[in-house]
Amino acid sequence: MKLIKSIAVATAFTAASTGAQAEDLVFLTGSQGGTWFPMGAAMSSQITERQPDLSIQVRPGASLSNVVAVETGQAQLALGSSISTVDAINGVGSFDTAVTNVCNIAKLYQFIVQVVAVDMEMDSPADFEGRAMSVNPRGNASEVTAQMVLGTFGVTYDDLSKVNFAAMSDQANMMKDGQVDGFIQTTTVPAGVVMDIAASRDVKLLPIPEENVAALTAQNAGFRPYVIPAGSYPFQDEDVPTAAFGTHIMTGCDQDEELIYNITKDLAETMSEVAVSVAALKEVDVAQMAEDIGVPLHPGAERYYREVGVLQ
């Protein structure tokens, strides 16, 4: 896994030793300033409140490197994107070796691909050609998605005047200051980072047409068509077609069945409490948690879902 080995190094220093036991878990999330980090913290708080013998260290991470950290035992829990984890299991895309020790605990919410421009002359992602854009750091599913989206329009990073790899908060500042013309993010709707930019500048959402979504799906079956409804943002008067994929919680397939059963149960029974602080989870129920995303369920999670009747 040539790319993944390099980005795993960046993750490893934040994780506990590979010998971490069930009572001392590492939970890798996303970059600070994004949705995943506070979501992981809220989930961990609910789990440890119900299981006070557990200690969960919530750490920043990224979708691709989180898969490797789980595979190698550097993390016992991690958030991931379905497209990245499916690639990892199949040994394709950024992974040239298939992972064998990554199992799903729960599907959560959908990531919505949002192409946002502050150059009001732009009408399509194709218009990034010759312009400057910002993306998440390499190894993040959002960055990989940005490349894939551009590719469906025949555009590569080499065709841009500048590409800045940065955290979402820094990307917002770049757009406010006019350093870049836009970004491609995969996050929830409405996205706080987009609202932040819109408070300072005129912005617009650029559509990803049906044929481009089909091209994305041909590359990775995790993509689905999606429509951002009109009015999702104050500046948005019309529906905007785009693409989406799922986010989920993963663990090592070799983790203790009883431990993962209890964690799955805790998550299912406290999802409404977590959703108070993480709005993206407000529509998530146990049936959605059990949905097939192309990643095998951990036996502990599967046992819980069968017990409550959402799996036959």
197-243 pLDDT per residue, tens: 999 999 999 999 999 999 998 888 778 899 999 999 999 999 999 99
Return the pLDDT at 269: 97
pLDDT (average), residues 139-154: 91
pLDDT grade for 11, boundaries at 50, 70 and 90: very low
Q: Examine the pLDDT at 4 and tell me if it is beyond 80.
A: no
DSSP SS3 for 311? coil
HEC string of 143-190 equals: HHHHHHHHHHCCCCHHHCCEEEECCHHHHHHHHHHCCCCEEEEEECCC
Return the pLDDT at 180: 97
pLDDT (average), residues 288-305: 94
Return the pLDDT at 63: 85
Spatial separation of the C-alpha atoms in residues 305 and 312, rounded to whole Å: 9
The residue among 250, 256, 246 whose CA lies nearest residue 75 is 250
pLDDT in tens, 57-93: 999 998 889 999 999 999 999 999 898 898 999 898 8
pLDDT grade for 33, boundaries at 50, 70 and 90: confident
179 is written with which tokens?
């350093």
Return the pLDDT at 305: 98
Q: Examine the pLDDT at 1 and tell me if it is beyond 50.
A: no
Quote the percentage of the chain above a pLDDT of 70: 93
pLDDT (average), residues 19-30: 77
Beta carbons within 8 Å of 105's beta carbon, 6+ residues apart: 77, 248, 249, 250, 251, 260, 263, 264, 267, 297, 298, 301
Q: Examine the pLDDT at 53 and tell me if it is beyond 70.
A: yes
Question: 149 or 34, which is more confident?
Answer: 149
8 Å CB contact between 247 and 108 = yes
Quote the percentage of the chain above a pLDDT of 90: 73
162 is written with which tokens?
């500048």
Beta carbons within 8 Å of 214's beta carbon, 6+ residues apart: none
Domains in the chain, please, with CATH? 2-108+247-307 (3.40.190.10), 111-245 (3.40.190.10)
Q: Examine the pLDDT at 306 and tell me if it is beyond 90.
A: yes
The residue among 311, 307, 275, 298 whose CA lies nearest residue 106 is 298
Cα 71 to Cα 1, 4, 43, 97, 239, distances in angstroms: 12, 11, 21, 12, 40
Return the pLDDT at 284: 94
Return the pLDDT at 110: 87
pLDDT grade for 294, boundaries at 50, 70 and 90: confident
Q: Examine the pLDDT at 43 and tell me if it is beyond 70.
A: yes
User: DSSP string covering 202-260, please?
Assistant: --EEEP--HHHHHHHHHH-TT-EEEEE-TTSSTT--S-EEEEEEEEEEEEETTS-HHHH
- Mean pLDDT over all residues of the chain? 90
